[in-house]
Structure formats: C-alpha cells, structure tokens
A and B are shown apart, each in its own frame.
Chain A
Amino acid sequence: MASALSGAGRSYRHDSLAATPDKCTLGRVEVKEVCHEYLSPTDKTPVAALGPVSLQVSAGEFLCLLGPSGCGKSTLLMIIAGLFNPTAGTVVVDGVAVTGPSRERGVVFQDYALLPWKTVRSNVALGPRLAGASRREANQVADEFLELVGMPQAGDRYPHELSGGMRQRAAVARTLAAKPKVLLMDEPFAAVDAQTRGVLQEELIGIWARTAQTVVFVTHSVEEAALLADRVVVMSTGPGRVQEEFPVTLPHEDRFSRESATRVAEVAASLLASVRTAQPRRPRRGGSWSG
C-alpha cells in the first residue's frame, strides 16, 4: 500500500500502514511524578486532582488506564497529550519533554470532535494537510485510512449524517492519518451502543496489530480493559494515583473468540476487585472527599 507521497522538504511522509521495525522503537512514554491541581470554583483554593503519578509505556504497548470517575485518568491523558499543563512533574516521549500538543501524540476524544463543517474525508485529511501535504495527496491518504476503518464510502458525507459508531471510526481514521507515534484514546467507545462497541474494539485491535503504535486507552469498563490491554493501570481517587498494575498475557488475537470469553472474564473480575477498592468513599454530609 506504499504510495509515492514523500515530497522533498515536506514534514509529512506517507508510507505503508504496516508496522516497520523502527516504528516499534518509537513512542515510548514516561510519566514522571505528574501532579495536577485545579482551583475550587467555590473558594478558589487549589484542589489536588491527580498525582503524583509515575508510569512508563513501552513503544508499541497497549496500555489501559482504568478507574472510577474522578480518578483523573482523563486528566492524565490530556497531560500526556500536552493539552493540560501538569502542576508538577513531566511527561517525556522518546526522550523529549512534552510542552504542548503535537501531532506526534494523536487523541481520539470521547465525543468524536469531528469538525461538522468539513466532510468526513476533509476531516481525515486535516492531519496530512496541516503537515504540508497537497489537497490531492491528503485526500488520497484520507481515503486509505477511511478504508482501514471500514468506511470507504463515507468520505463525502458530513459528520452529522453518520451514526455514533461511524463517527468514532472516522475520528480514529483522522487521528491515525496524522501518523502519531502515540495514540491517546479518551473513553472513545463510551458513547456508542454495546453491540457497536464490541465491533469497534475488535477493529481497533486489528488496526493496532498493523500500525504497531503505542496506545494509551482510558476506560472505566473492566471488560474493555481486559479485552484490549497489554497492561492495565488501575487508578484510585482523591487525588488520582496508580493503585495497581495488571499485565494481561492472553494473546490479543484470541480475546474476541467465544472460547476465551471465560478467561477474559476472569481478568475482568480481578480488575473489578481492584477498581472496587479504588472507589471513592461516599462523601459525608458537608461534602468532604478526604479522610
């Protein structure tokens, strides 16, 4: 599928979608002692939301951040993306400290974030366009990625004409088309129905097997984490911290089969036990979350 799109002097290189050996050495993420505070809207005092958190993601690894709502897992993802500044600590990707957003770290947002005024093709072509590809090249790349996510016919449609599942496929295609080293996914399948979610999860693993990118995937679903991850990091609340890590050793290609359903369920059960202990205590009257 290699195409001749590598124009001299351009920062955007389009090559094969398949994994190449050097790709597997790129996309190593180190989170070092990261904290995040926000100002309380009522009395403007700082509230610790996250950290300190430290973790490493190897190049090509599929890591799930799992935890109850309010554990700061999405905040951590946005800090890795460079969209939030941490109050303390650093994120380092391939030896370079993160100072802001970059196309090296692509994000798939929960609510798709497709631009409604662009066709699906133009949305997917945006990454290549911003990297300097011509409109024709960018559209060609977009069509390849739309085919990869199984919607080659949808290029001329507008996002509002698509179902939730199709929109999220388009959003994945858009993020992948920008050729990020790291794919950051913020509960991407939370808004679609259960059946579509299952299909999308399996497709994602298929795509990941070909692109071999590092993936950091935020979810609150233990089943989803058990189905997708190489390793699951369970986070606890108040402020968000790493509670426990679970390597998942089942081979990815087997996890979606009926035969391995029991084993996936066992992994999910142990994750659930960990998440339960990470749940926030109920706030006492007066609303304090500490204690």
Chain B
Amino acid sequence: MNTSERPKASLRPSTFARRAVLRPGLVPVAVVLGMWALLPSLDHLPVYKLPHLAQVASELWHLAVTGAIFNALGDSLSRLAIAFVIGATLGVAVGVAVALSRALNDFLMPLIAFFNAIAGIAWIPLAIVWFGFGSGPVLFVIANNVFFIVLYNTLLGAERIPPVMYDAVRTLGGDRRRTIVREVLVPGAMVGVLGGLRTGLAFAWRALVAVEMIAASNGLGFMSIQASRVFDGSTVVSVILVIGTVWVLMDRLLLRPVEALTVRRWGMLGGADL
C-alpha cells in the first residue's frame, strides 16, 4: 500500500531528496495564500463559506496567544504518540512472527486481509461503547489503524527479501533462527517497515482528527467541530493549517532522517539493488 509512495527509480534520488529538504516548497505556498487573499474580492464569496486570510491569521494569532491551539495540539500529539508506539510495536512484532512461521501465516493472513480492509474509523461506534467518550476510543482506533498498516507492510518487506540472502547467511555459519531474524529478516524487511511506519503515521494523523471530532472532548478535532457548531470558520481553517503544518514537520524532521540513515544509505530505495 505504501509502495506507490516510494520515489520512482530516478537517476539521482539523493539530489532530489536534498533539494526537497532545503527548499520546502515556499513558492507554491505563497501562490496559494495569494489566491486565497484575492478570491473573496474577485467573486463575492460570503465569509461563512470561506473566511478571509486576514481573519484566519488573526484568529490563529489569538489561539496561539491564549495557548488554546497548543493545548489542543498537545492533546492530539500525545494521543498520536501513544497510539502509534503501541500499534507500530505490535505491528512489527506480529509481522516478524508471521514471516517466520508458516502455520501462523496460514492462520492469520485471512484475518489480516479482512481487518486491513476496514478503515480504523469504522470501529468508532463500538470503541465508544467499550471505552466511553475520551481518549480510550481515540487510542484504540488509531492504534488499530497503525497496527494493520505496519503489520501488512512489514510482511510485504519480508516477502521481498531475496531467498539468496538467507542462503548466504546460512552458509556462513548462521544456522540458528535468531541469527536469521537478526541478520536478514529484520534489516531486510526495513524498507517495508519504514514504509509502513510512514503510511501508518500519516493515516493515524488524519484519522485522529476525525475520531476526536466524534469521540473526544479535547484535541484539534474537538476544537474544530466545536467551532463549526458556532459557525466559527476561522478556527476550523486554523486547525486545518496546523494539521498540515505539523505533518510536514513530522515528515521532514522525523521520517526522512530515519530513512536517510537506513534504507536510503543502503541503496534500497528507488529500485532496491540487492
């Protein structure tokens, strides 16, 4: 599922990556902001349908000064972190176990295929019944989401390891299962694992806001849905801006550096050359 997100086998992936980090798309952002500023004067768009840029800016400033947006962001991010760590850890662990055991594989794969197809948010009603309103259902739904995405991608990564890698380690004296897991399975599945973590985090961040709108009483999603009930479009758009910005920062500061230290350094991205 994540594999389509991998950069195509370009001739110089490293140059591409470097440029993307150094120039974080300021020009296109400026163009969109400019269009947004001009739009209401061109066509008499009512403010309740799209708040003006200036209104949103002042609302965002207000939310920042009062600390409201940071409180909401903190609530959402701590939920994301907890749910992500739980889901990802279980996902990698079960993925490695399933990759190792034929019997486990035969037993679990149909279940995994089924649950993987269910969007995490489909669990919201039941999760509310189980855990009540608050963090419980949010954590459950997000961890569930992350778990299946990471598990599925870990399995894909493990499947793509060329069998000759195992043969090589076995003929060098690595005959114990533990050695095979440590030397081949885990590092070899890394492309899949990292792809799964990235997709999992992206999905989790999107879903988190949706679940908070329905099941929580704080966080960014709650802030947004509360504002919409009093037709406060500026706050809704402010939350959207924060959600997007935070994702871009997570990707640049967290995911890409990890990738650069592992699979990119090993030459396993952009046409794995094993």
Q: Using a CB–CB distance below 8 Å, which chain A residues touch chain B?
A: 81-83, 100-103, 105-107, 109, 111, 113-118, 126-127, 130-131, 158-161, 174-175, 178
- Which single residue of chain B is at the shortest CB-CB distance from A84? B167
Complexed CA–CA distance, A174 and B172 (Å): 8
Is the interface on chain B under 10, 10 to 19, 20 to 34, or 35 or more residues?
A: 20 to 34
In the assembled complex, the CB of A238 is this many whole angstroms from the nearest CB of chain B, namely 25
Judging by beta carbons under 8 Å apart, are A158 and B171 in contact?
Answer: no
Interface residue? B247 (CB, 8 A): no
Complexed CA–CA distance, A83 and B165 (Å): 12
Judging by beta carbons under 8 Å apart, are B188 and A117 in contact?
Answer: yes
Complexed CA–CA distance, A288 and B179 (Å): 44
Identify which of A109, A115, A116, A130 contacts B173 (C-beta below 8 A). Answer: A130
- Which single residue of chain A is at the shortest CB-CB distance from B187? A117
In the assembled complex, the CB of B176 is this many whole angstroms from the nearest CB of chain A, namely 9
Q: Most chain-B CB neighbours within 10 Å: which of A100, A102, A105, A115?
A: A115
Extra pairs beyond A106-B172, A113-B165, A178-B171 (18, CB < 8 Å):
A83-B167, A103-B171, A107-B167, A109-B168, A113-B162, A115-B183, A116-B267, A116-B268, A116-B272, A116-B274, A117-B188, A117-B190, A117-B262, A126-B172, A130-B172, A158-B266, A160-B273, A178-B173
Complexed CA–CA distance, A30 and B169 (Å): 24
A contact face: mostly helix, strand, loop, or mixed: loop
Judging by beta carbons under 8 Å apart, are A81 and B267 in contact?
Answer: no
Complexed CA–CA distance, A126 and B171 (Å): 11
Judging by beta carbons under 8 Å apart, are B171 and A81 in contact?
Answer: yes
Judging by beta carbons under 8 Å apart, are B165 and A101 in contact?
Answer: no
Judging by beta carbons under 8 Å apart, are B164 and A160 in contact?
Answer: no
Interface residue? B174 (CB, 8 A): yes
Interface residue? B265 (CB, 8 A): yes
Complexed CA–CA distance, A100 and B167 (Å): 11
Q: Can you list 26 pairs linking A and B with CB atoms under 8 Å apart?
A: A81-B167, A81-B171, A83-B167, A83-B170, A100-B175, A101-B167, A101-B175, A103-B171, A103-B172, A106-B171, A106-B172, A111-B162, A114-B168, A115-B165, A115-B169, A116-B266, A116-B268, A116-B274, A118-B187, A130-B169, A130-B172, A130-B174, A130-B179, A158-B266, A175-B172, A178-B172
Q: Which residues on A sit within 8 Å (CB–CB) of B188?
A: 115, 117
Q: Which residues on A sit within 8 Å (CB–CB) of B190?
A: 117
- Which single residue of chain A is at the shortest CB-CB distance from B268? A116
Interface residue? B83 (CB, 8 A): no
Identify which of B165, B173, B187, B268 contacts A127 (C-beta below 8 A). Answer: B173
In the assembled complex, the CB of A10 is this many whole angstroms from the nearest CB of chain B, namely 12
Q: Which residues on B sit within 8 Å (CB–CB) of A131?
A: 173
Q: Which residues on A sit within 8 Å (CB–CB) of B262?
A: 117
Q: Which residues on B sit within 8 Å (CB–CB) of A101?
A: 167, 170-171, 175
Q: Which residues on A sit within 8 Å (CB–CB) of B164?
A: 109, 111, 113
Complexed CA–CA distance, A210 and B258 (Å): 44
Interface residue? B184 (CB, 8 A): yes
Judging by beta carbons under 8 Å apart, are A105 and B183 in contact?
Answer: no
Q: Mask for B152-182, Cβ within 8 A of A = 1, else 0?
A: 0000000000101101111111110001000
A158-B172 contact given A101-B167, A111-B164, A126-B183, CB 8 Å threshold: no
Judging by beta carbons under 8 Å apart, are A161 and B171 in contact?
Answer: no
Judging by beta carbons under 8 Å apart, are B267 and A102 in contact?
Answer: no
Complexed CA–CA distance, A247 and B208 (Å): 73
